[in-house]
Amino acid sequence: MEIFFWCLLGLLLCGYFALAGYDYGVGLLLRAVGRDEPERRRALGSVGPFFLGNEVWLVAAVGLLFGAFPLLEGKVFKQNYLVVVAMLLGLITFTAAVQLRSRRPGAGRGSWDLLVTGGALVTTAAWGVFFGNLVRGLPATGPVPVADPFSLLWGLGFVALFALHGANFLAVRGDAALAAKGRSLARRLVPLVAVWVAVVAGWTALSPIMSTVDRAWPALLVLAAAVAALAVTWLGSPRVALAGSMVLAVLPVVLAGTLRFPYLLLSLDISQSAASPGTLRLLTFVAVPAVAVVVLVQWLTWRANRRPVGDRTLLHF
């Protein structure tokens, strides 16, 4: 039962990064792809129908973490306290700025655009530091260092990764001008993400990190998947490239969830961190239908809004 909920938690986090990741990417690139207000509105309008639905995956993941792994939730959030606070501030800033910037027609929006880009930057960088800490391994007690070079490398890599994801999304759902800019930016960002993957792989292999895990094959499989996804993103059509960057976006979750399993922290395994069997059985009746509804609604939303934005598209933001 614990393994089932661990996989379900991983599925929700993968859905969040694959879908909300392009929201943050478009936010990071907002001023690069939009030279004037109409272009920026169309860029934000491309993510508009999916924006709030994408965030539901994170809400569901955090709820499942609280319900199924209460001990793990307390330790992970406490040890990454400053990172989590920065992540929440960035997330709130980004979400509020995207929804409020266009409420007053004719008003200046330069400050709102800075908040959109700044919020996306802080959110993605904080997620990168957070997952860098998970991959390195959390100690049994005490906070993890925020300015550690390995974690900062993950933070910078996440910014490049989600910018690539946003560029690929604009190449698929933007109008002709936005799509061209998205393809151009993606071509420039793929080598940057490839360098980040290579540096992280080399650093992880040569550092004491691998001496704290029982097996290396999860890291090797994730590296192979990353190389394949980068190749697909570079060579494929815009829709194939978007699928490739989705795979890249979820690989940190896969790596963090499998590298040292069943030990979730360096001294805490999955059975010690999970809720009681009775609680998990009760949670099954709630979590499984809820996840099925989230997946169904997300698929229907994409089916209804999969075409590029145009002059007759309703712009939500």
Compute the average pLDDT of residues 244-265.
87
Paired tokens of 20: 């909300």
The tens digit of pLDDT for each residue in 101-152 reads 877 777 677 788 999 999 999 999 999 999 998 888 777 666 676 678 888 9
CA distances from 168 to 189, 269, 284 (A): 10, 38, 36
- pLDDT class for 223, splitting at 50, 70, 90? very high
C-alpha distance from residue 52 to each of 19, 56, 126, 151, 290 (Å): 11, 7, 20, 29, 16
Q: What is the DSSP letter of 142?
A: S
The DSSP H or E segment spanning 269 is strand 268-269
Domain topology for 1-305 = Formate dehydrogenase/DMSO reductase fold (1.20.1630)
The domain spans of the chain are 1-305
For residues 305 and 197, give the distance between their C-alpha atoms in angstroms, rounded to a whole number.
32
Indicate the average pLDDT of the chain: 87
- Distance, in Å, from the CA atom of 40 to the CA atom of 116, rounded to the nearest integer, reads 11
Tell whether the torsion through CA atoms of 245, 121, 149 and 130 is positive or negative.
negative
What tens digit of pLDDT does each residue of 41-90 get? 888 888 888 888 888 899 889 888 888 887 777 777 877 888 999 999 99
